[in-house]
Structure 1
């Protein structure tokens, strides 16, 4: 059957609603023409409302203009998740404005309307001028949008302004929206199904912000496009399950949103320079402070040495008085003095040797010092146990004494132990190289994908304080990690200086270095310094594009730092039985493995949390047994039989208390803490599994550190002034650091749109945000914590090891 066609031409008027209709069984094409004088600050918007309740075929609108053609249908069909279809009978579209050099020019517009509907169709067509089409700097503008009526506006860079931040805010979380920055070109992609085709874009609920640079837009201008999505799943809204019928149309509902847009100037190059100078200045000041402290300490030691080596016109009794000792008690040399100070027997010998006259007294003093040194080689608790003949060779007998001294647990050859602990450093250096190279390659790929696709939902920045530099989207978050590297290097230099001094003392056979103080092995310190520097590097890599898939980059070396600190604390009093580097790093690798599994599979996975909690508790029990028995137990087929025997003999038969009270108190508290953490994880199942795992390590480290300090004070030892200052300073800095850490400027446990709800402006120098300050303070706090471990036992440097308790 032939279909008749009719072409109707009408002259369209601005700001006037045209109500039109078609007759039945007629294929019609309506051509509307319009000439309009537009300035560069104005735009044109076409709005259509379908008045008929139902139509057999949609109306097709084609808008022809200079250098562009726009087409859309009414009712408009938009697709959502799982290809669900939503129908909209009101459609509004803004026409793109091709670049023009004239301030004002006359443009011609043609609107062609056609349909294949056999029934009558009624609709309203309106063409209106958009007076606020151009956005102005620092001027807020409000507008409404719906999924079928998107909005976009134009912004032109003024002279002297190269970077701006486009911010959009709304009082309503939903409907979910998309903000896009597009170059000035036609057509403009302003629908839910094509807005991600070009430019930069991000989803939003209440807040969105994109930093835009002039160099990325040759026309020195860009479009700000706002589109409402048909569904809210992309922004974390409820997931609604509907039957998926091929021809079913979902109810679009009343999805409208009022938004505010403002374009603000970004920081200039001077702020970048000021931020970098501030960052470097803060951490270089620690180098200067360390140098000054070293100079003061060196000068004090020189004065002390001169006072000991050059006593003028003093009698033997006066010489002994100068050393803080009475000559009647020569065995006091090398142990605690009445006033709490200690001196090595070598210092006594040197002082006496430098005294003129009375050589008989000198000989008697030297003989008494040598006798005291020989007598002190046995433990002060010698009468508390049977001294068997093989006590020097059988470690089972030594380690099961009720009271142990450091001399009992530092019996291995010093060269062997030194090589053992140096392996920690070389292993972590090797791990760092092989770990860092693929990480750097991966984050470069992440940043390239973000720059090429424009999808800013990939990375979880604080977009309100993300300052780009070159290809990097958030340079300030990367720069603030330099503190870890600089302070890690400084700590390594401090340890190296101490290591050199100790080696020199060993070469000249200094008695204090050979027989006094905590045995000095620096391999773990070197490993800690390397781990701190690697934490800075990997944290910077993570902040190139922070998201849940690469969060392990930021936490892997945090686990290592916590583990190495605990190993160093234990190694101070137990150098012979501390874990080897291979077993320690194998355990840390298992921790990182569980961290990856938790991030990928841990969310709402009951099986994973049950398995992890069981492994956590079993590992705690095994480690407790290892620590309590000083490694003198075996994990074999007879372990259950021996456990039952111990329970029967010690708890049922005679109900004797634990032999090692102090160790038992520590391990009971440790088990309570770890079992509580395991129960918390199993019940609440925190989304951020990596942080939960890190919290377990930090809690155990703090518990052991507190135990160490308490036992040190209980043993009659003291904390020197420098170590006490480091402890107090570090505690205060940790407090402030944790305050800024818990501000939570972004979170990858939620959708990108929900994460941006936590974004906040810069608070320091208009360049650094709360998380940057966390980087500053945490790096300083870690450096201070390392100094505490390094200096807390300096008071024992002149105390013989058989007078130092192991706990």
Structure 2
């Protein structure tokens, strides 16, 4: 019984479905009988005025001869003449041999927040299917239909585009709008493997997009799909894309230009919101006149010349350093022989053949060096940590007594065991290496043409690198950083040998020699080059901190080295220093992401900046001998009265106060102005602090009766001149990620050196040389004190 019921239900449903299908088929047939289809043989460059309803459909049939040696474009232009066509648009379908193009008129394009813009005038270019024969007749059809029962009047015109193919180094002008995009074909000529496509306009707005697409159908030439394939750039006045033949199998490509419906992508104003979600907004006149030109890129010979030029510049510094080292070594040996003859008048010199020998008689009043050196230097340093013990003899002289003397000498602040200090300052170099390896692991930036802020007018690709010249120019940081490490190593070896032979000058004279910070500075300069190269793979605001991280470190290490020269016992530890630098980099990232126009962030940063400046100034002024308690305000008032009002002319208190006020004024400026580029603002603070401290050091050095030797003076003058030229090229501003990519490209300029390097590359060259010179200044500026007892060298 159950089987019979199931079978009956199945048969009933099958009959119902069959009946429904018959009804639908009957309705379709009845509708087809009432709909009229008209096919017309049409011609090019003729305007057809017609009316379409839901009851009729018009098909326009075209044919044209396609030649393989001549490429012509075919353009469809449509106008809707009836009012109120937005509610029942006309559908146009173009059927070609290998492609179908369909669009409605009025064309509805969507902008930000899905706002709708209708366009009653539409112009589209048909893609060009390839032809295998020398000449071929191709047919295509334009179907016009609508679902509106009311008649809608339209105009249709098919025309040939004679200037469809772009020619090398020949400018072509055209007009485009959101509903009338334009694209043109370019074929690589023989001998050209790389070309630069440049699009320019005298009009900043409306915002537009330039795209490079392979020869294929369909061509994505509307605002809502132009970014689907290929490479693209938004543009206001200029755009440029470097194209390589190897990326296009057909040895040709399309240059597509689309005008956007809104200007927000190019930094333009945000238009008003629609009152209703489905409200149509009048877009107004958004036509734009543009010029396009395709030029061959540089040849491989220019690449070779650029690389040789870069290597030649920095290898010349190696050669110059070698010559200077030879001259200094010869001068040092001559001075040493003269000093030996002066100290030992009874010395006997005799010659044998072409060799001369100097026989010395030991001085009668020779000092015992064992009391000076203490432990043997052969003892291992591996078990000594900087915090294991304090070797300052507190029993003989208390720290508070020594550090609060009216006039301090270097010997008062160089009382710790030299092995402990050497271990302490070597930690700077070790921690920096760990920081370098960590940063290199996270540098991996990818993106398209619109998220990388290149100077597109001078961006020469090599392999997967879009701007190889910007990467190559960073070679100077690496080579000069390595050269500085070699110079420091030479000095370190000479000093170590002097200590091994218990040289009194090395033990008791001059600024104490600690090379750990110098090694860290040289390594930081090399890492600046590597991280800057990684940043220039695709420069933008998200990875800008990689370009500036080691700039902060270099500035901080230079300040620490200046302070260490006169305060070797109480300089900051490596862990504390790098923790502070990490905090600076952290605030730099926060400022880039949240700082623009965020008053809360600027208030927090300014408060922390002021507190840190006050605490650091107090720590430096009192050399660590102060405490934070309830009586600190009373002591501050007393110090200001005694050190600044009563006796400011007798010491450096006024200088410290002036520097402190300058630092506080910078914090106030940042709070009032809130600069958009927070990273550059923070870097400017670090550089200003370094320059102020360096100037203070030089002034106090000269006031103390010390002098600057010839080599250090040459380095100072040379570095100052190079820094001036470097900053000139830096402020040229070829691009800026503070603006939109389109606005940034307005600052792009052509190459200025060898048709390969731009202004920013020259900045890389000069700044690396200037940093190298600055390091040499720090290394040599106190060479005049090498023969002066440390108890006669003042602390400041």
Q: Same fold (TM over 0.5)?
A: yes
Q: 1:158 aligns with which of 182, 186, 189?
A: 189
Match of residue 641 from structure 2: 651
CA shift at 1:765, angstroms? 0.9
SS class of match (1:544): coil
CA shift at 1:186, angstroms? 0.5
Q: Give the structure-2-normalised TM-score.
A: 0.89
CA shift at 1:649, angstroms? 8.0
Q: Is the 8 A contact 1:84 1:244 kept in 2?
A: no
CA shift at 1:551, angstroms? 0.3
Q: Is the 8 A contact 2:425 2:517 kept in 1?
A: yes
Q: Which digits, 9 at most, give the CA deviation of each residue in 1:140-186, with x for residues without a partner?
A: 00000000000000000011110000000000111110100000000
SS class of match (2:488): helix
CA shift at 1:313, angstroms? 12
Match of residue 239 from structure 1: 270
CA–CA separation in structure 2 for the residues paired with 1:757 and 1:312: 71
Q: 2:704 aligns with which of 704, 715, 719?
A: 715
Match of residue 664 from structure 1: 653
Residue 441 of structure 2 is aligned to residue 437 of structure 1: yes
Q: Which digits, 9 at most, give the CA deviation of each residue in 1:119-152, with x for residues without a partner?
A: 1111110000000000000000000000000000
1:312–1:726 Cα change, 3 Å: closer
Match of residue 691 from structure 1: 680
Match of residue 619 from structure 1: 612
Q: Is the 8 A contact 2:274 2:281 kept in 1?
A: no
Residue 31 of structure 2 is aligned to residue 42 of structure 1: no
1:123-162 equivalent positions in 2, closer than 5 A: 123-162=154-193
1:631–1:33 Cα change, 3 Å: same
Residue 549 of structure 2 is aligned to residue 556 of structure 1: yes
CA shift at 1:246, angstroms? 2.6
1:192-591 equivalent positions in 2, closer than 5 A: 192-243=223-274, 245-310=276-341, 363=364, 366=365, 392-439=396-443, 442-443=444-445, 446=446, 450=447, 455-591=448-584
CA–CA separation in structure 2 for the residues paired with 1:226 and 1:104: 29
CA–CA separation in structure 1 for the residues paired with 2:558 and 2:542: 27
Match of residue 12 from structure 1: 42
CA–CA separation in structure 1 for the residues paired with 2:438 and 2:406: 45
1:311–1:393 Cα change, 3 Å: closer
1:655–1:255 Cα change, 3 Å: closer
Q: Is the 8 A contact 1:391 1:398 kept in 2?
A: no
Unaligned runs of 5+ in 2: 1-26, 348-357, 373-392
Residue 85 of structure 2 is aligned to residue 70 of structure 1: no
Q: Is the 8 A contact 1:405 1:806 kept in 2?
A: yes
CA–CA separation in structure 1 for the residues paired with 2:190 and 2:612: 65
Match of residue 175 from structure 1: 206
Q: Is the 8 A contact 2:52 2:145 kept in 1?
A: no
Q: Which runs of 4+ in 1 moved over 6 A?
A: 311-316, 353-356
Match of residue 382 from structure 1: none
CA–CA separation in structure 2 for the residues paired with 1:783 and 1:617: 32
CA shift at 1:644, angstroms? 1.3
CA–CA separation in structure 1 for the residues paired with 2:622 and 2:706: 25
Match of residue 333 from structure 1: none
Q: Which digits, 9 at most, give the CA deviation of each residue in 1:531-566, with x for residues without a partner?
A: 111111111111111110110000011000000000
Q: Is the 8 A contact 1:190 1:226 kept in 2?
A: yes
Q: Is the 8 A contact 1:37 1:104 kept in 2?
A: yes
Q: Is the 8 A contact 1:402 1:660 kept in 2?
A: no
Match of residue 728 from structure 1: 717
Q: Is the 8 A contact 1:391 1:397 kept in 2?
A: no
Q: Is the 8 A contact 2:66 2:131 kept in 1?
A: no
Unaligned runs of 5+ in 1: 317-352, 375-388
CA–CA separation in structure 2 for the residues paired with 1:655 and 1:232: 58
CA shift at 1:646, angstroms? 4.8
Q: Is the 8 A contact 1:402 1:659 kept in 2?
A: no
SS class of match (1:476): helix
1:237–1:656 Cα change, 3 Å: closer
SS class of match (2:557): helix
Q: 2:58 aligns with which of 11, 30, 53?
A: 30
CA–CA separation in structure 1 for the residues paired with 2:722 and 2:734: 20
Match of residue 793 from structure 2: 804
Q: Which digits, 9 at most, give the CA deviation of each residue in 1:1-37, with x for residues without a partner?
A: 96521111111111111111136xx421101111112
Q: Is the 8 A contact 1:9 1:32 kept in 2?
A: yes
Q: Give the structure-1-normalised TM-score.
A: 0.88
Count how many residue pairs are aligned between Structure 1 and Structure 2.
Answer: 733
Q: Is the 8 A contact 2:236 2:266 kept in 1?
A: yes
CA shift at 1:391, angstroms? 8.1
CA–CA separation in structure 2 for the residues paired with 1:486 and 1:798: 33
1:102–1:244 Cα change, 3 Å: farther
CA–CA separation in structure 2 for the residues paired with 1:788 and 1:798: 19
CA shift at 1:655, angstroms? 9.3
SS class of match (1:249): coil
SS class of match (2:662): helix
CA shift at 1:247, angstroms? 1.8
Q: 2:770 aligns with which of 772, 781, 795?
A: 781
CA–CA separation in structure 2 for the residues paired with 1:759 and 1:105: 45
SS class of match (1:250): coil
Q: Is the 8 A contact 1:310 1:354 kept in 2?
A: no
CA–CA separation in structure 2 for the residues paired with 1:786 and 1:661: 32
CA shift at 1:41, angstroms? 2.5
Pick which of 306-315 and 757-766 moved more.
306-315
Q: Is the 8 A contact 2:644 2:653 kept in 1?
A: no
Q: 2:664 aligns with which of 668, 671, 675?
A: 675
How well do the aligned residues superpose, as a CA RMSD in angstroms? 2.3
SS class of match (1:97): coil
CA–CA separation in structure 2 for the residues paired with 1:128 and 1:159: 31
Q: Is the 8 A contact 1:173 1:205 kept in 2?
A: yes
Pick which of 389-398 and 529-538 moved more.
389-398
CA–CA separation in structure 1 for the residues paired with 2:344 and 2:500: 32
Q: Which digits, 9 at most, give the CA deviation of each residue in 1:720-772, with x for residues without a partner?
A: 11110000000000000000000001000000110001111111111111101
Q: Which digits, 9 at most, give the CA deviation of each residue in 1:174-231, with x for residues without a partner?
A: 1110100000000100000111111111100000000000000000000000000000
